[in-house]
Structure 1
Amino acid sequence: MSRSLQQSVAAARVVEQPLAGRTALVTGGSRGLGREIAIAFAAAGADVAVVSRKKDACARLAEELAAATGRRVSAHAAHVGDWDGLGTMLDEVERELGPVDVLVNNAGIAPVYPSLDQVDEALFDKVFAVNVKGPFRLLALVGARMAAAGGGAMLNISSMGSRRPTAGDLPYTAAKSALNTLTAGFAQEYGPSVRVNTILAGPFATDISKSWDPDVVAAMARDWPAKRVGEPEEIVGAALYLCGPQASYTTGALLAVDGGRLAAP
C-alpha cells in the first residue's frame, strides 16, 4: 500500500537529522575517511565513539567534535586485530554512550612491499587481521547485540581494488574481497532488523595518498570518469545514506564511491 503525501513529506524531513538519537561506533575514526564519517554522523545527530590505536588522536577529535555539535563523543583506544580486546572496547563504548545502533568498520591497512615473493607471513597476517578478522569480530559482536535490541545498521569500508586487484596490493585487495563476502553473510544472519552494507572506496586524498607518485596517479586518473582522486569528505553522503533511515530496504549491498574507477577501462 502506498503511503500518503503527508507521510512521504514527514519521512523526507527525517533526512535533516538522519541519525538523531543514534549511537555510532567508527573504527579508524581519528583520521582520513573515518574522521570525516565521525564528523558527519555527529552533525547528523548521532553520539559517536571514535576508535583507533592512538587514543590521544581520538580524544582531540572527540573534544572538538563535541564542542562543535553538542553531541556526546567518546574516545577509545583499540587495535582492530586484537580479537579479545574488541569485546572490551565495545563494553567500554556502551558504558559511556549506551548500545551501539550504527557500526562503521573503517580501519584498514595496506602495507607496501617490493614484490609478491617478498611478502612475509607477518605482513600477510597483519593485513588480514586488521582488514578481515577485526571487522568479522565486530560485525558478530555488535550485530548480535543490535538484533537483540531491535535493529541497527553496520557499514564496511572496502575498496574498489577488491574488484580490480593488482600485484602491488594483492594481500590488501584479497582481504577487502573477503570483507565484501562478510557483508553478504552478516546481512543474512542478522536481517531483517540489522542492515549490513559496504562502500567500495576508490582513491581518496588521505594520509595514505602522500606516498603515491602524483604523476602516476594523474596518468591513471585520465581514464576515470571523475578524472581525479576523491576528497575525504566525499565519502560522507554514501555513509549517511547506508546508515540512515532512507536505506531501510538496502542491505547486503556493495556501493562504489570511486569517481567511476570501476567503470573505467
Structure 2
Amino acid sequence: MSERLRNKTALVTGSTSNIGQAIAEAFAAEGAHVIISGRNRERGAQVVEGIRASGGRADFLAADLDGSAENSQDLADRAREALGGRIDILVNNAGIYPAPATTATDEKTFDEVYGVNVKAPFFLTAAVAPTMTESGGGVIINLGSWIARLGVPLGALYSSTKGAMETLTRAWAAEFGPMGVRVNAVSPGVVLPPAPEGGEPHPGEIMMKGTPAGAVGTPDAIAYAVVWLASDEAAFVHGTVVDVDGGRTGVAVIAA
C-alpha cells in the first residue's frame, strides 16, 4: 500500500474481529501504529500477531466499553500511553446487535445496547478529542449502519443507536472541527465474510438482490473507506456519513 497513515497512531474499538479487525489491519498496512481493543484477549493477540507478521505495528488492550465514562476514559489513557503520548485517529467501531422485537425488549437489554453503542463512544470521544486538539489535530470516524435510514423488522433498538451515532457525527464535526479534529462516519451495508463455496445463501445475500452491487460487501470494503477518511486525502471532509452499502439505501431496489 501507499503508507497514507505513516507515523500516525490509531485506536480502533471492537477490532478483534470482522469490520474492526479489517480496519485495524488496513491502518497498519498504511503505516499506522494501531491499538487493537476488545474483550477477547485471545482474538486480540491473534490480530496483533497477524499485523506484526506482515511488518506492521500493533498492540492489544483489553477493554469492556459498557458505556461507563470511567471505562472509556481508562481505555483512552492506556491507549495514549501505549502509542507514545498521542492518539491521531479514533475509530468508534465497537457495537452489539441484539434484535428482539420492540415489545420483547426489556429495559436491561435497552440500556446495554445504548451503553455499548452510544454511551461508550460518546465518552471515549470526550476523552480523546481534547488531547487531539492539544497535539495539533486528529480524526474521529464513527460506524453507522444502513438500517439507520431504511427500516427493517426487528431493527428498532439497534438502528436507533446507529442513528444516534450519525447525528453525533455531525454535531461533533461542528464542535471539534474548528479545533482541528475532523469527524466523519461510514455507514456499512450488508457485510459478511467471504462465504464458502456451495453453502446455503445467507439472509443478507437475499437483501442485496436487485441492488447496484447485487451482492453483500466484505469487511475490507468498509476498511478501505475508513482509511480514506483517516488520511489527508479527506482533509476537506467534515460531518459526512459515507454510505458503503452497495447502493442499498440510495438506489431503488429492483425486485428479481
Verify same fold: TM over 0.5.
Answer: yes
Equivalent position to 2:153, from 160, 167, 181: 167
Aligned to 1:5: none
Residue 214 of structure 1 and its aligned partner are, at CA, apart by: 3.2
181-190 or 42-51: which moved more?
A: 181-190
Gap change, CA 1:56 and 1:216, over 3 Å in 2: closer
Identity %: 37
Aligned to 1:100: 87
Asked if the contact 2:22–2:220 (Cα under 8 Å) also holds between the matched residues in 1, the reply is yes
**In the aligned structure 2, how far is the partner of 1:70 from the partner of 1:203?**
29
Aligned to 2:141: 155
Equivalent position to 1:229, from 196, 213, 216: 216
Deviations 1:48-96 (A, max 9, x none): 000001122212211221231242x110111222321121122111222
User: Which letter maps to 2:122?
Assistant: F
Aligned to 2:197: none
Equivalent position to 2:171, from 185, 188, 192: 185
SS at structure 2 position matched to 1:107: coil
Asked if the contact 1:139–1:186 (Cα under 8 Å) also holds between the matched residues in 2, the reply is no
Gap change, CA 1:206 and 1:86, over 3 Å in 2: farther
**In the aligned structure 1, how far is the partner of 2:26 from the partner of 2:202?**
32
Residue 24 of structure 1 and its aligned partner are, at CA, apart by: 0.4
Equivalent position to 2:225, from 238, 244, 247: 238
19-28 or 88-97: which moved more?
A: 88-97
Given the alignment of the two structures, is residue 80 of structure 1 paired with residue 65 of structure 2, yes or no?
Answer: yes
SS at structure 1 position matched to 2:31: coil
**In the aligned structure 1, how far is the partner of 2:56 from the partner of 2:176?**
32
In the TM superposition, what are the counterparts of 1:7-156 in structure 2 within 5 Å?
A: 16-71=2-57, 73-81=58-66, 82-98=68-84, 99-113=86-100, 115-156=101-142
Residue 231 of structure 1 and its aligned partner are, at CA, apart by: 1.1
SS at structure 1 position matched to 2:35: strand
Aligned to 1:8: none
Deviations 1:184-242 (A, max 9, x none): 111111113100000011010049xxxxx836434332221111111111112211110
**In the aligned structure 2, how far is the partner of 1:133 from the partner of 1:167?**
24
Count of residue correspondences: 244
Gap change, CA 1:215 and 1:79, over 3 Å in 2: closer
**In the aligned structure 2, how far is the partner of 1:48 from the partner of 1:216?**
33
Higher helix proportion: 1
**In the aligned structure 1, how far is the partner of 2:190 from the partner of 2:45?**
27
User: Which letter maps to 1:156?
Assistant: N
User: Which letter maps to 2:249?
Assistant: L
Unaligned runs of 5+ in 2: 195-199
**In the aligned structure 2, how far is the partner of 1:218 from the partner of 1:46?**
33
User: What TM-score, normalized to structure 1?
Assistant: 0.88
Divergent runs of 4+, >4 A: none
Asked if the contact 2:102–2:157 (Cα under 8 Å) also holds between the matched residues in 1, the reply is no
